[in-house]
A = this chain, B = another copy of it.
Amino acid sequence: MSDQVKYVLDEKDIPRDWYNLAADLPAPLPPVLHPGTKQPIGPADLEPLFPMELILQEVSTERRIEIPAPVRDIFRMWRPSPLIRARRLEQALGTPAKIYFKYEGVSPAGSHKPNTAVPQAWCNKQAGVRKLSTETGAGQWGSSLAFAGSLFGIDVTVFQVRVSYDQKPYRRALMETYGARCIPSPSSETESGRAILAQHPDSPGSLGIAISEAVEIAAKNPDVKYALGSVLNHVMLHQTIIGEEAIKQLEMAGDDPDVVIGCAGGGSNFAGLAFPFLGLHLRGGRRRRIIAVEPAACPTLTRGRYAYDFGDTAHLTPMVKMHTLGSTFIPPGFHAGGLRYHGMGPMVSHAYELGLIEAKAYKQTACFEAGVQFARAEGIVPAPESTHAVRCAIDEALRCKAEGRAETIVFNLSGHGHFDMGAYINYFSGKLVDADYDEGELAMALAGLPSAAAD
């Protein structure tokens, strides 16, 4: 069919390996530092938290890392995900641009997160781990790790930011359906949690606090490991299956993207689509525009500092060099919970610092407007996070219209919004506003960044 809409692959076409951007970077990633000594750490320092196979992936500079066969077996439940040509959106916009999106909402948890939850759970299982602890905000990551845990018989404990635990019971129910235990954070189960509760008994929690609790549980219990759903190198690696598939599917379509777009909180769904395309360029291919889209209320790349910082509030994690708003920065309340993090993944930050990618920040009402326009044209209601990528793709298509250019745009639709309809209700009722952070608080958080030897 000449006007094909959907590019599907057979399960035998699931990529056999992940792509590691570290192999092709023109400058190496800055080292990870020990939180106490501020000196570069080795793989052994991370062993209390992660199984060795994931640690080796974290520090690897091999270009291709094989996806274990049992992980590919599981992926067959929903992968390869479809690449869809948004023809009706193109028509609605009257743009000469071609718009494609990679749709990750087809996974059991409804987002891209199982792409890394499954290999993380499998590597832990191989290492004999039977208990994992993690944190979650709105619950996309927590429900994905719960799903992966159910597949491999691993007990999963999720510290969920209390305000989400109370206000968004549906993703919590999804975690419990998969058999995970969900604890509102801050909790009385950890020192970090008790310290917060002593000062703020009614604390609504934050992702930084929940990370501290989950890390503490793993650090103190030899039979428990920790799992993180974004930021780290091995998470970016796992998500590259998205871009590897998209490259094949765009070849089927006979197209080559000029612009590659993903929303970015910790950076994993963005990296998942973008890094394989970036790799093509770094190995001699043509240069494409690659755009990370972040919320204006938590503008890590566009307003943060590239510096060593902690990943959590209690400063239990190693220090990584990343674009950060400071680990004490509390972003204002907005609906894309998956983008409310003070830092950006080190690999994404490094690529941005090297000028290999662009960044844009959008306010949420403009994003929901784009999400509704997309839903009415293409049927799929995007998750609030994903509406940021939709907004940027529409703006690029409108630029193409103004310039009369038939460019090819591809973006990552990282998840559906069926768990997030409350945000759309607020949008339609006019209650959703463009909450902004306080400039003074941002300045204080940036001034409070720790100094580090290698900074």
Contacts and interface: CB of A to CB of B under 8 A. Distances in A.
A59 interface: no
Residue among A5, A376, A378, A418 with the highest chain B CB neighbour number at 10 A: A418
Given A108-B381, A173-B425, A381-B177, A150 B76 contact: no
Interface stretch (A6-14, A227-235, A354-362, A393-401): A6-14
Interface in A341-390: 372, 375-376, 378-381
B8 A8 contact: yes
A424 B177 contact: yes
A258 B157 CA distance: 41
A178 interface: yes
B5 A428 contact: no
Contacts of A10: 8
Protomer copies: 2
Q: Categorize the interface residue count of chain A.
A: 35 or more
A44 interface: no
Contacts of A6: 11, 76-78
Contact of A428 (B78, B114, B173, B421): B173
Interface in A96-144: 106-110, 114
Contacts of A106: 106
Contacts of A277: none
A140 to B, nearest CB: 12
B170 A421 contact: yes
Contacts of A76: 4-6
Contacts of A376: 150, 177-179
A451 to B, nearest CB: 45
Nearest to A9: B8
Contact of A421 (B5, B150, B173, B425): B173
Given A88-B151, A416-B418, 12 more contacts: A1-B12, A5-B77, A8-B10, A77-B84, A107-B379, A109-B379, A169-B421, A173-B421, A173-B428, A177-B375, A178-B376, A179-B376
14 contacts: A1-B12, A5-B76, A6-B77, A6-B78, A77-B378, A77-B379, A88-B151, A107-B379, A114-B379, A169-B421, A169-B422, A170-B422, A177-B372, A177-B375
